[in-house]
Amino acid sequence: MLPFLGELGSTGLARKLKRLSKILDKFLEKIIDEHEQALGSNREEQKPHRNFVLVIVSLLNKPMNPHDKEQEFIIGRTNIKAIMLDMIVAALDTSTTTIEWALSELLRHPRVMFGLQQELETVVGRSKMVEESDLPKLTYLDMVVKESLRLHPVAPFLVPHESMEDIMIDGYFIPKKSQIIVNTWSIGRDPDVWSNNAEEFFPERFIDNNIDLRGHEFQLTPFGSSRRGCPGMQLGPITVHLILAQLVHCFDWELPVELDMSEKFGHSMPRANPLLVKATYRLLDKRM
Ligand code: HEM
C-alpha cells in the first residue's frame, strides 16, 4: 500500500515494526476484551457508558450510520483498534511534550516558578496536593501554560488542511482544494502579533485579554481551531494544567546541568534532549 516502506525491508526495521505492531495489537485486543466483558450481553442497558472505550466497544459490529440504508459499513475490531491507537498517539505524546516544555521554561525563569508556587500555596496550601477542582482558581498557571504553548506548540504546523472554497486573504488568492499548512510556531513568535518581547517567556502578557487555547483568537492556535481542531482540546489542557501544577506544587526543582532548550524540529516538536532535573519534595506532609 505504501511502496516507499519497501525500503525498510533491507534495514531490519520492518521486522522490528512487525514485532512492535504485534505487541500493540495484543495490548489493544486485551483492552477490547476487558471492555466487552464489562459491558456484558445487554449493551443498551449499560448506558450512559463510563468511559470512551466503553462507548466505542458498545458500537462493535454495528453499522457506522444506522440511518443510512445504502451504506452498510460495519464497525469492526480493526476500526476500534485504529481509533484507540489514534487516541493514544495523539493524546500522550502531545501532553507530555507540552508539560516538559512548560517545566523547562519555568526552570529558566525562577521569577515565574516562584510566582506559580506562590499561587499554588495560596489557593491549594502546602498540606495537600492539587485537585482538578482547584484548576479554575489557578489563573497564573493558566497563563504559564498558554505562554509555554505559544513558544512551543507541539505541532508547529498543525495538521495539513484542505480549503473548501476559493478565497482571497490579504490580497492572496487561495483556490478551493489547496493544501493549507498553518505555521502556528512562527505566528507564536511574530513581533507584529506579540510585540517586541515575542521571544521572551512572559506569562503576564495574557492578563486582561480574551486569548484562549481553543483558537478563538487566531494568534494562539496550539490545538488548531474550529471544526477540524484537536478533539482533545478539553481533555488536553486539563491534563497539562493538573500535572504541571502537581509537579510545581509538590517539588522544588534544581538543574544539575546547564539547561539545553534545543528543539527537535519535525511534524511534532519535542525537546531535542531529555530534561535532566533534581526534584526535592516540598509539601508539609511527607507521607503523600
Ligand atoms: C496538550 C495536548 C494536546 C495538544 C497540544 C494537541 C494538539 C493538536 C493539534 C495541533 C492537532 C491538529 C489540529 C489542526 O490541524 O487544526 C491535533 C489533532 C488531534 N488531536 Fe490533539 N492535542 C493534544 C491532546 C489531545 C488529546 C488528549 C487527544 C485525545 C483524547 C487528542 C486527539 C487528537 C486527534 C484525534 C486529532 C486529529 C483530529 C483530526 O484529524 O480531525 N489530542 N491535536
**pLDDT grade, residue 250 (50/70/90)?**
very high
Question: Binding site for heme: residue ranges?
Answer: 230
Rounded to whole angstroms, how far apart are CA atoms 193 and 73? Answer: 47
DSSP letter, residue 222: B
Whole-number pLDDT of residue 284: 87
Domain contains 287? no
Q: What is the mean pLDDT of residues 35-47?
A: 75
pTM over 0.95: no
Annotated binding site: 230
**Side-chain half-sphere exposure of 250, counting CA atoms within 13 A:** 14
All three cell numbers of 48: 450512559
Q: How far is the CA of 91 from the centre of ligand 1 (A)?
A: 7
Q: 162 and 198 share a domain?
A: yes
Residues 69 and 178 in one domain: no
Ligand 1 centroid to residue 95 C-alpha, Å: 10
Nearest CA to ligand 1 atom 30: 232
Give per-residue pLDDT as tens, 190-223.
999 999 999 999 999 999 999 999 999 899 999 9
**Residues 155-160, mean pLDDT to the nearest whole number:** 94
Most confident listed range (33-42, 92-101, 261-270): 92-101
Q: How far is the CA of 222 from the centre of ligand 1 (A)?
A: 9
For residues 33-53, give the mean pLDDT.
Answer: 78
Judge whether 148 and 269 are in contact, CB under 8 Å. no
Q: What is the dihedral of CA 224, 160, 183, 138, to 10 degrees?
A: 20
Q: What integer is the mean pLDDT of 158-185?
A: 95
Q: Read off the CATH number of the domain in which 236 is found.
A: 1.10.630.10
Residues 128 and 162 in one domain: yes
Is residue 56 domain-shared with residue 104, that is, in the same domain?
no
Cα(29) to centroid(ligand 1), Å: 24
Task: Provide, rounded to the nearest whole percent, the portion of the chain with pLDDT above 70.
Answer: 93
Express each pLDDT in 253-281 by its tens digit. Answer: 999 999 999 999 877 899 999 999 999 99
- Indicate which residue's Cα is closest to atom 41 of ligand 1: 228
| Ligand 1 pocket at CB < 6 A | 86-87, 90-91, 94-95, 98, 154-155, 158-159, 222-224, 228-232, 235-236, 240
Q: Measured in angstroms, how far is the CA atom of residue 233 from the centroid of ligand 1?
A: 7
Average pLDDT over residues 154-181: 95
Residue 234 to residue 232: CA distance in whole angstroms: 5
Domain that holds residue 16: 9-75
Distance between Cα 75 and ligand 1 center (Å): 23
Closest-lying ligand 1 atom to the alpha carbon of residue 221? 10
**Cβ–Cβ under 8 Å, residues 279 and 252:** yes
Q: In terms of domains, do 54 and 128 share one?
A: no
Per-residue model confidence (pLDDT) at position 66: 76
Q: What is the pLDDT of residues 97-114, one digit of tens each?
A: 999 999 999 999 999 999
Question: Hey, which of 83, 88, 94 would you mutate to test ligand 1's pocket, going by the most ligand atoms within 8 Å of its Cβ?
Answer: 94
Residue 222 in domain: yes
pLDDT at res. 8: 63
Neighbours of 192 (CB within 10 A): 9
What pLDDT shows up at residue 268?
Answer: 82
Q: Which atom belonging to ligand 1 lies closest to the Cα atom of 52? A: 30
Burial class (CB in 10 A: 0-12, 13-18, 19+), 43: middle
Alpha-helix runs per DSSP H in the chain = 13-39, 52-57, 77-108, 110-123, 139-151, 184-188, 191-194, 235-250
**What is the number of domains present in the chain?**
2
Q: What is the pLDDT of residue 282?
A: 95
With respect to residue 80, please indicate whether it lies within any of the assigned structural domains.
no
User: Is 248 part of any domain?
Assistant: yes
Most confident listed range (7-11, 72-76, 89-93, 202-206)? 202-206
